[in-house]
Amino acid sequence: MKLTVAKALEIPSVSECKVIGGKSGLSRPVDSVNSFDAPDVVSWLKPNELVLTTGYVFNSNPDLLLKLVEELAAKGCAGLGIKSETIPDSVIRLADSANLPLLRIPEQFSLADIMTPLLRELVARQKQNENFHKNTQLLSRIISGNPSDFEIFTQEAKSLGLSRNSGYMCILLKLFGHGGKIGRSQLLLHTEQMVCHLGIGNSIYGWVHSDMILILENKNQINENQINAKAYRLSEELDEFILEQYPGIKHSIGIGNHHIGIDQITRSFSEASKAIHIGNCVETGKRMFSFKEMEAISLLQYSPPEVLEDYVFRCLSPLLVHDQTHNTELVRTLDVFLHSLLRPAETARALGIHRNTVHFRLNCIKDILENDLIESAYLFRLQLALYAMKLLGKT
């Protein structure tokens, strides 16, 4: 996460500097900061370096300042901060044309007053980048699921402050299509703010390819329902943030179960991944999926396809044949009816049709199946068949 000149100007003390030229170059990255009073140091300067000077040496020779701005721009420096009340218009015009930010340092500030907070910020960001790299390595091992990596994974997790006997759960944000267009640093920053706000505690998060993975640690062994609630809230916040900031990005969020022990992190990640896969099969239109809710359905994946097809045929074939023959939507109506907890009015709203139409369809379903749709065991069989049909891709 690079520090830019614009971001540097948000740092206390540095924010007192006034941009008097090169405003279109405020997005230039700042990798380091340097100061000088002699004009012959340009050869020592580095690209992306923010240069500070008292400007005293240029007071009697403005042409030297013009030359400096030209050389800094050619060198790819981040900008020039100068402590001078009188800067020639020609210098400002050159800074504008070269897109080199020109900052006026207030008279009451020393160069150290500007340099110290900048250096502090650069060091903090460097440490943050190092941690981000460590996070990425750890998260990559989680995705690999390679048992031979487990000892290395455990040591890396400990080095990041994760405890062996804490509780853990994973959240997986998966992007589809044009996921590369998303502001990853911005999303990580928003995640960090939400983690702090929700009081989740120690957490590891980062990007691996087009996936963002979050490991939530429950170090104090708080009630499992509480950590689940916080994970849901965090997932909702991420979902809302993406919808608001990146409305064209298709995404899904999976939430793994809570498990005790550092060795169970990969298990929770696997569950989060499965929740997304199963959820996108059986819950079209949704973006958030919890493995806790999908766990029973996941058992169907262990059945051979021919077994599932046979089960679907035995439970739903009369309705499937009727829909195909008469171009009706009885299977879909039954599915929504069961998801709506057997409430016709809610079913009508979900389908966007009149309640009387729902009642007519339900009567047709009852007649065709020769069942009044009251017995819980029979309704469970129908629900299971509908899930199996979706897993088979038959919808």
Q: What is the pLDDT of residues 81-133, one digit of tens each?
A: 999 878 899 999 999 999 999 999 999 999 999 999 999 999 888 877 777 77
Q: If pLDDT is split at 50, 70 and 90, which confidence band does 256 have? A: very high
Q: If pLDDT is split at 50, 70 and 90, which confidence band does 184 have? A: confident
The secondary structure of residue 343, as a DSSP letter, is -
Q: If pLDDT is split at 50, 70 and 90, which confidence band does 179 have? A: low
The residue-averaged pLDDT of 162-177 equals 87
Residue 375, classed as helix, strand or coil, is: coil
User: Per-residue pLDDT for 326 more than 90?
Assistant: yes
pLDDT of amino acid 48: 94
> What phi and psi values does residue 223 have, to the nearest 5 degrees?
-50, 135
CA-to-CA distance for 18 and 389, rounded, in angstroms? 65
Per the model's pLDDT, the better-predicted residue between 395 and 205 turns out to be 205
Give the residue ranges of DSSP H helices in 104-256: 111-144, 150-159, 184-198, 224-245
pTM: 0.65
Helix, strand, coil tally for the chain in percent (to 5): 60, 15, 25
User: Are 174 and 254 contacting, i.e. CB atoms less than 8 angstroms apart?
Assistant: yes
pLDDT of amino acid 176: 83
Q: What is the DSSP string of 57-91?
A: GGTT-HHHHHHHHHHHHHHT--EEEE--S---HHH
Q: What is the pLDDT of residues 275-304, one digit of tens each?
A: 999 999 888 778 999 999 888 888 888 889
For 131-157, b/e burial (b = at least 16 CB within 10 A) is ebebbeebbebbbeeeeeeeeebbebb
User: Are 275 and 256 contacting, i.e. CB atoms less than 8 angstroms apart?
Assistant: yes
pLDDT of amino acid 350: 92
pLDDT of amino acid 20: 95
CA-to-CA distance for 42 and 56, rounded, in angstroms? 16
Q: Is 136 left (phi over 0), alpha (psi -120 to 50) or beta?
A: alpha
CA-to-CA distance for 58 and 68, rounded, in angstroms? 10
